[in-house]
Amino acid sequence: MEKINGIDEKYLKENAAKVTDADIGKVAEKADEIQAKFKKGGPLGRFIEDVKLLISLVKDYWKGDYRTIPYWAVGAIVFALLYVLSPIDLIPDALPLIGLLDDAAVVGLCLGLVEQELEDYREWKKLRSETSAGSVRPAGSVELK
Residue 144 belongs to some domain of the structure: no
pLDDT at residue number 8 = 82
Residues 6+ away with beta carbon under 8 Å from 48: 35, 38, 39
pLDDT at residue number 91 = 56
Residues 6+ away with beta carbon under 8 Å from 132: none
pLDDT at residue number 145 = 45
Instruction: Judge contact between 110 and 58, C-beta under 8 A.
Output: no
135-140 own/partner pairs: CB under 8 Å, 24+ apart: none
Residue 14 belongs to some domain of the structure: yes
pLDDT at residue number 100 = 73
pTM equals: 0.78
The secondary structure element, H or E, covering residue 51 is helix 48-63
pLDDT at residue number 43 = 72
Whole domain around residue 123: which residue ranges? 9-133
Our count of domains for the chain comes to 1
Residue 112 belongs to some domain of the structure: yes
Residue 138 belongs to some domain of the structure: no
Residue 117 belongs to some domain of the structure: yes
pLDDT by 10-residue block (mean), the chain, 145 residues: 64 93 96 87 82 97 97 96 79 58 88 96 94 63 46
Residue 82 belongs to some domain of the structure: yes
Residue 3 belongs to some domain of the structure: no
pLDDT at residue number 144 = 46
Residue 143 belongs to some domain of the structure: no
